[in-house]
Amino acid sequence: MPTFISWNIDSINAAVEHKSARGEMTWATLQHLAELAPDVLAIQETKLRPTGLTKKQATALDELFPDYHRYLNFSTARTGYSGTMMLSKTEPIAVTMPEIGAPGEMDQEGRIITLEFENAFVSTVYTPNSGRELARLEDRQAWDNAYTQYVQQLSTEKPVIFSGDFNVAHQEIDLKNPKTNRRSAGFTDEERADFTDLLAAGFVDTFRTLEPETTGVYTWWSQIAKQSKINNAGWRIDYYLISEQLRENLESFEVIDTGARQDHAPIQLTLSDFNL
Q: Which residues are catalytic?
A: 126, 165, 264
| Burial degree of 103 (CB within 10 A; 0-12, 13-18, 19+) | middle
199's CB contacts (< 8 A; 6+ apart) are 205, 241
13 marked as binding residue: no
Distances (CA, A) of 222 to 218, 235, 265: 11, 9, 12
249 marked as binding residue: no
8 marked as binding residue: yes
Q: Dmax over Cα atoms in the chain, in whole Å?
A: 47
167 marked as binding residue: yes
170 marked as binding residue: no
Q: Give strand ranges (E) for the chain.
A: 3-8, 40-44, 69-73, 84-88, 94-96, 112-116, 121-126, 160-165, 203-205, 220-221, 234-235, 238-243, 250-255, 263-264, 267-271
- State the Cα–Cα distance between residues 145 and 126, nearest whole angstrom: 15
Helix (DSSP H) and strand (DSSP E) numbers for the chain? 6, 15
- State the Cα–Cα distance between residues 268 and 232, nearest whole angstrom: 20
Classify 17 as helix, strand or coil.
helix
- State the Cα–Cα distance between residues 241 and 8, nearest whole angstrom: 16
Element (H, E) at 32: helix 21-36
Phi and psi, residue 140, nearest 5°: -60, -40
Q: Which residues pair with 222 in a beta bridge?
A: none
Q: Which residues are annotated as a binding site for Mg(2+)?
A: 8, 45, 165, 167, 263-264
Q: Which residues are annotated as a binding site?
A: 8, 45, 165, 167, 263-264
